Amino acid sequence: MVEAGGHPVVVVDLTRVFGDFTAVDRVTFSVERGEIFGFLGPNGAGKTTTIKMLTGLLPSSSGVGRVDGLDIRTHRREIRSRIGYMSQKFSLYPDLTVGENIQFFAGMYGVTGSALMEREAWILEMAGLVGEAGRLTESLPLGWKQRLALGCALVHRPPILFLDEPTSGVDPVARRSFWDLIHSLAEEGTTIFVSTHYMEEAEYCHRLGLMNRGRLIAMDSPSALKHRVVEPILEVGVDDAPGAVRALAGSPDVLEAAMFGRKLHVTLAGTDARPDPVRETLAAAGVAVREIHPVSPSLEDVFVSLVRAGGGALEG
C-alpha cells in the first residue's frame, strides 16, 4: 500500500474502464515533492488516461488517487486550480497575442493586479519573449510557443505540473532548452509529472514509470532500470540495416533486433555475448558486417525489453 504522507501524487489500484476495455489496470505509485517523474509507454499504454484522471479531466472507475492531498473522485474542480497542465498541443489560442494568452490563463486562475504584472514579466523573460507581448501567438516558432504554453500553465504558481508529451514535434535544441527550464522548476520545489516518447528525455527524469497494456510494469531511476536487462546486447554496423533486421528475425540466437541510429542493437537469447552466430546469420543473408561489439543497454533497450516481457505493445 502506498501511503499519502507528504507525497504530492499518490495512486493506489487506480483503474479506468471504457466498456469492455480496461485502459488503466490497478496502477499504484507515488511521486516525491520536487521530483521529475517520467511516464513512459507505447501508444495505448494508458499514460494519457492516467494523467486525465489525476488532473480531474476524467473520472476514475475504481481505486484511489490523491493530488496535493485532494481526492481525485470528489475534488476534481479544486485539483484543477492547484496544478499546472500542458498537453502536446500546448493549449494556446493562436489568434490571441502573447500577452492576451497570458492574461486569459491568468484570469482563469484568478491572478490579477500586481500579481498578474509580476507573472507576465516572469513568463515573457522565461520564454524569451520580452518585447513580444503584442505578437500573434500563431506567428511564433514552435519552441517559443512551447515555452509560452509552459509559462501559461505556471501563471498561478502551482506546486504540481503535469506535462503530457509536451515536446512532441519540437526540434532537439528547443527540447533541451525546455528541459533546462523543467530542472530549474524542480530545483525550486515544483513537482513535475511528465509523459514522453523520447528516450533522451526520459534520461532527464529522476524516476520513470513504464506503462504497458494499462499496467505499470516497472518503476525506478533510469540507471537502475538499465541494470534490469540481463541479456547481452550487440551493436552492429551494416550497410543494409532494414535487411539485417529482416535476416535476424526468427533467429533462435536473437530476442530482438532493431535499428538504433545508423546501427543495430541486437539483444541475444541466453547469456553468451559472442557475436559469431549473428555474424554468420547476416553473412548467410548477404549482409556485410562492418563492426560488431557488445554494448551496455540504453534506456531504449530497457524499454523494448520490458514491453516485450510484458506481452508486447497493443496493436493499432
Contact between 209 and 38 (Cβ < 8 Å): yes
Q: HEC states along 22-64? A: EEEEEEEEEECCCCEEEEECCCCCCHHHHHHHHCCCCCCCEEE
Helix (H) / strand (E) containing 272: none
* pLDDT for 45 beyond 80: yes
Return the pLDDT at 1: 37
Q: Of 60-74, 194-208, 231-245, give the lowest mean pLDDT range.
A: 194-208
Angle at 263 between CA 259 and CA 266, to 5 degrees: 65
pLDDT band of 176, cuts 50, 70, 90: confident
Residues 254-266 have a mean pLDDT of 90
Query: For residues 286 and 111, what is the distance between their CA atoms, to the nearest angstrom?
Result: 67
143-147, 183-187, 306-310, range with greatest mean pLDDT: 183-187
Helix, strand, coil tally for the chain in percent (to 5): 35, 30, 40
Among the listed residues 214, 204, 169, 212, the one whose alpha carbon sits nearest the alpha carbon of residue 22: 214
Residues 89-96 have a mean pLDDT of 87
* pLDDT for 85 beyond 50: yes
Among the listed residues 37, 33, 36, 35, the one whose alpha carbon sits nearest the alpha carbon of residue 68: 33
Among the listed residues 195, 213, 182, the one whose alpha carbon sits nearest the alpha carbon of residue 24: 213
Instruction: Give me the chain's average pLDDT, please.
Output: 91
Query: For residues 231 and 258, what is the distance between their CA atoms, to the nearest angstrom?
Result: 15
Map out the domains of the chain with their CATH numbers: 9-221 (3.40.50.300), 233-296 (3.30.70.100)
pLDDT band of 313, cuts 50, 70, 90: low
Return the pLDDT at 314: 65
Return the pLDDT at 312: 64
Query: How do residues 224-255 score in pLDDT, each as one tens digit?
Result: 999 888 889 999 999 999 999 999 998 999 99
SS3 3: coil
Among the listed residues 83, 62, 84, the one whose alpha carbon sits nearest the alpha carbon of residue 73: 62
Please state, in angstroms and as integers, the Cα–Cα distance from residue 75 to each residue in 3, 13, 79, 83, 158, following that order. 19, 18, 6, 13, 16
pTM for this prediction = 0.86
SS3 298: coil
Q: Give 244's Cβ-side CA count (13 Å radius).
A: 27
What is the percent of the chain where pLDDT is above 90?
Answer: 73
